[in-house]
């Protein structure tokens, strides 16, 4: 079974749109800063701009400028990062990573995180990728269970999205010894990690508590 990604028009007069560069938007709040949106749909519904066919999956899109980024997955074979043209749905480029096996329920899970010329995404089995938008080549790629042997792939697969704060990308191995880890976003090298925090499918989020930043 395959799914379709559908883009519909909510404001046909708008020349551009606000970026949605990661899971749940710019601040991970699920709130869009855009204004001037339709208050109600036309009687026959919003106009379909384009659609494209994908494999099965659960991950959403990140939108930056004229590019739509999403993770697709071919069952038992590979994870795929797709870059589509926001106005037409045309495939601009793809990056593929071999990834055998299949967790419970097939398909992709992660939403890409776009920071400058880098796109970060996490495969269903916990491989974290940093891909160069210009060359479409990997800057680095690390599987969490290779770096943290105490981290085991969850029953439902890794369904988290990378968080980038300044020069650190945060991921959650959810291991018996390592709960959350921070890596240098340019090299992928570890710079920080926490103790165990239990099992979860949650994505790390930045919060301000008592005047201090917490992940």
Encode 146-198 in three state secondary structure. Answer: HHCCCCCCCCCCCCCCCEEECCEEEECCCCCCCCCEEEECCCCCEEEECCCCC
Query: Tell me, what's the pLDDT at 3?
Result: 52
Q: Please provide residue 83's backbone torsions phi and psi, each rounded to the nearest 5 degrees.
A: -120, 115
Query: Tell me, what's the pLDDT at 12?
Result: 38
Interatomic CA distance for residues 22 and 118, integer angstroms: 12
| Domain 3-7+17-28+47-168 top-level CATH class | mainly beta
Instruction: Divide the 215 residues of the chain into consecutive groups of 10 and give the mean pLDDT of each group.
Output: 51 59 93 84 89 89 96 92 96 95 82 98 95 98 96 86 97 92 98 88 89 90
CA 138 vs CA 73, 117, 121: distances in Å: 17, 12, 11
pTM over 0.85: yes
Query: Domains of the chain: which residue ranges?
Result: 3-7+17-28+47-168
Mean pLDDT for the chain overall:
89
């Amino acid at each position: 079974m395959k799914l379709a990604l559908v883009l519909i028009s909510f404001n046909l007069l708008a020349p551009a749109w606000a970026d949605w560069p990661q899971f749940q938007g710019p601040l991970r709040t699920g709130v869009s800063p855009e204004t001037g949106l339709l208050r109600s749909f036309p009687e026959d519904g919003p106009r379909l701009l384009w659609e494209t066919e994908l494999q099965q999956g659960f991950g959403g899109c990140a939108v930056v400028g004229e590019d739509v980024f999403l993770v697709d997955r071919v069952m038992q074979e590979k994870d795929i990062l797709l870059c589509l043209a926001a106005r037409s749905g045309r495939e601009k480029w793809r990056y593929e990573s071999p990834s055998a096996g299949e967790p419970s329920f097939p398909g992709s899970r992660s939403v890409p995180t776009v920071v400058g010329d880098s796109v970060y995404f996490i495969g269903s089995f916990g491989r974290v990728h940093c891909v160069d938008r210009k060359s479409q080549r990997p800057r680095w790629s690390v599987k969490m269970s290779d770096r943290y042997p105490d981290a085991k792939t969850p029953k439902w697969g890794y369904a988290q999205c990378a968080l980038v704060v300044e020069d650190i990308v945060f991921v959650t191995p959810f291991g018996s010894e390592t709960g959350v880890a921070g890596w240098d976003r340019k090299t992928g090298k570890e710079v920080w990690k926490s103790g165990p925090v239990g099992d979860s499918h949650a994505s790390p989020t930045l919060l301000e508590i008592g005047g201090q930043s917490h992940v």
